[in-house]
């Protein structure tokens, strides 16, 4: 399998100025909540706009003193800093896209990864608040994270970010990949409390999901046909149908989940849009029966959507903390053979192949899985204390894995630790959870600083 270097490059100031200040933030289980980053575009433009970030295991070159340099630093496939000459040529375009920036292969390969300026602004707020750690925290500021579309109002963020990405693509003459997490399913995340969404199946939620959410997103994607768009589709949706149908809300949501996810796949699938359907993580679906059942559910929904060819693959570990490779843990695996995400991806891939969903690739969320041995119960998921940033986004790290990527923006809270607050989930005061956590999706400064300090590989 070929390996490519990928870069994360923040838009230059003139591009960032195009962007609105609304920010979508995510909680742990892939759960997102409304938040606003005031004047995010201006702040991001001020915070070293245009600098590059190493795509591999080391991003120590992000403090280049030349914002907007015409020769941004690139990285080789091992994550080592390479020469500062022009980046790799874009992939050959098999779709007829002008400029050859769209590919029928891995959308992360050979591409600049778009950096959300709203996220960069949140990082800047922590840099300002923790001057002693400013140099360390600044290493994160130019790393690409997913833009979460977690409510109807967030759809307005699609066009300005894609416009900025297109301007960057034209400036650099290299493919730019923008990643969105689409997350507003009716009766969203039916087995959790902290991540309940705005749409209710009983209140015309399925129709609203189509007409007010998916259709407008699809229209904006269609209006940007010459750039790569990645979609992480509906975390914590179909996996709930595998293991949680005993929960009344999940049982009541099954038909809506199947119908809505199929509609989203069919509507968002375009030659330049690369969909990765959420497939939970090893601690959820790692047992063989769960893998088999999940593969069957995925196969049925894909058939309803129009076929498995409409998606590029699956996303795992979204907003979770499971390590890539097995390490000693504090909890009991309870017979689960998948002790890490690499093992899970390999076994789930085989289960999917057996179910007729063949040849699919994976994206693994590595935003917060740098350290194992930090939880006493595998099911603890909320604001884990002592967690660390994981592998930096990079393409083709191993067979069938298109990318390690930061789907969950590290620093966004998983849920409030205040038992008197709305949407409180007892999981957020577990023995492994950090204290003082704000509402899901709000910026958790202390947790962000700890993630950076505990990063593995180190920043």
Residues tagged active-site:
236, 414
Report d(CA 366, CA 319) in Å as an integer: 9
CA distance 308 to 299: 7
C-alpha distances (whole Å) from 289 to each of 191, 203, 242, 294, 295 are 20, 34, 10, 8, 10
Instruction: Describe the crossing of helices 248-268 and 215-222 by its angle, rounded to 10 degrees.
Output: 20
Q: How far is CA 77 from CA 153, 393, 398, in A?
A: 38, 11, 11
The neighbour count for residue 223, using CB atoms within 10 Å, is: 11
Structural tokens at position 167? 């301007």
* Cα–Cα dist 29/181, whole Å: 13
User: Which tokens is 91 given?
Assistant: 């992939």
User: Tokens 């030349």 identify what position?
Assistant: 66
- Whether 224 and 166 have beta carbons less than 8 Å apart is answered as yes
Coil, strand or helix: which one is 395?
strand
Quote the CA–CA distance of 277 and 315 in Å, as a whole number: 6
Looking at residue 210, what DSSP letter applies?
Answer: I
């Amino acid at each position: 399998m070929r390996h490519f270097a990928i870069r994360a490059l923040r838009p230059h100031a003139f591009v960032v100025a195009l962007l609105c200040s609304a920010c979508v933030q995510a909680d742990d289980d892939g759960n997102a909540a409304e938040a606003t980053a005031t004047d995010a575009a201006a702040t991001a433009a001020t915070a070293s706009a245009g600098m590059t970030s190493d795509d591999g295991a080391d991003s120590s070159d992000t403090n280049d003193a030349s914002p907007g340099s015409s020769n941004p630093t690139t990285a080789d496939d091992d994550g080592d800093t390479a020469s500062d000459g022009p980046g790799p040529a874009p992939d050959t375009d098999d779709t007829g896209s002008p400029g050859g920036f769209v590919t029928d292969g891995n959308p992360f390969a050979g591409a600049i990864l778009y950096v959300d300026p709203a996220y960069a602004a949140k990082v800047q707020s922590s840099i300002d608040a923790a001057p002693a750690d400013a140099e360390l925290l600044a290493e994160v500021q130019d790393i690409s994270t997913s833009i979460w579309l977690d409510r109807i109002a967030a759809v307005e963020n699609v066009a300005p970010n894609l416009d900025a990405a297109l301007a960057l693509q034209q400036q650099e003459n290299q493919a730019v990949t923008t990643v969105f997490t689409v997350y507003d399913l009716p009766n969203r995340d039916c087995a959790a409390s902290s991540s309940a969404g705005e749409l209710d199946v009983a209140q015309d939620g399925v129709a609203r999901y189509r007409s007010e959410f998916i259709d407008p997103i699809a229209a904006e994607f269609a209006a940007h046909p010459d750039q790569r768009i990645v979609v992480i589709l509906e975390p914590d949706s179909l996996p709930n149908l595998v293991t949680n149908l005993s929960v009344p809300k999940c049982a009541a949501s099954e038909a809506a989940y199947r119908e809505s996810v199929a509609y989203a796949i069919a509507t968002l699938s375009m030659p330049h849009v690369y969909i990765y359907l959420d497939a939970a993580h090893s601690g959820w679906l790692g047992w063989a029966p769960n893998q088999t059942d999940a593969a069957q559910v995925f196969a049925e929904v894909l058939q309803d959507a129009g076929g498995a060819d409409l998606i590029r693959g699956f996303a795992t570990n979204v907003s979770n903390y499971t390590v890539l490779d097995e390490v000693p843990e504090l909890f009991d695996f309870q017979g689960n053979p998948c002790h890490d995400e690499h093992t899970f991806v390999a076994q789930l891939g085989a289960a999917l192949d057996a179910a007729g969903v063949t040849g699919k690739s994976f994206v693994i969320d590595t935003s917060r899985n740098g350290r194992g041995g930090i939880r006493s119960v595998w099911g603890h998921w909320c604001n884990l204390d002592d967690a660390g940033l994981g592998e930096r986004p990079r393409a083709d790290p191993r067979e069938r894995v298109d990318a390690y990527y930061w789907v969950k923006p590290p620093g966004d809270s998983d849920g409030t630790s205040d038992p008197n607050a709305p949407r409180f989930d007892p999981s957020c005061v577990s023995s492994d959870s950090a204290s003082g956590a704000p509402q899901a999706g709000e910026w958790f400064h202390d947790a962000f600083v700890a993630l950076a300090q505990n990063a593995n590989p180190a920043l």
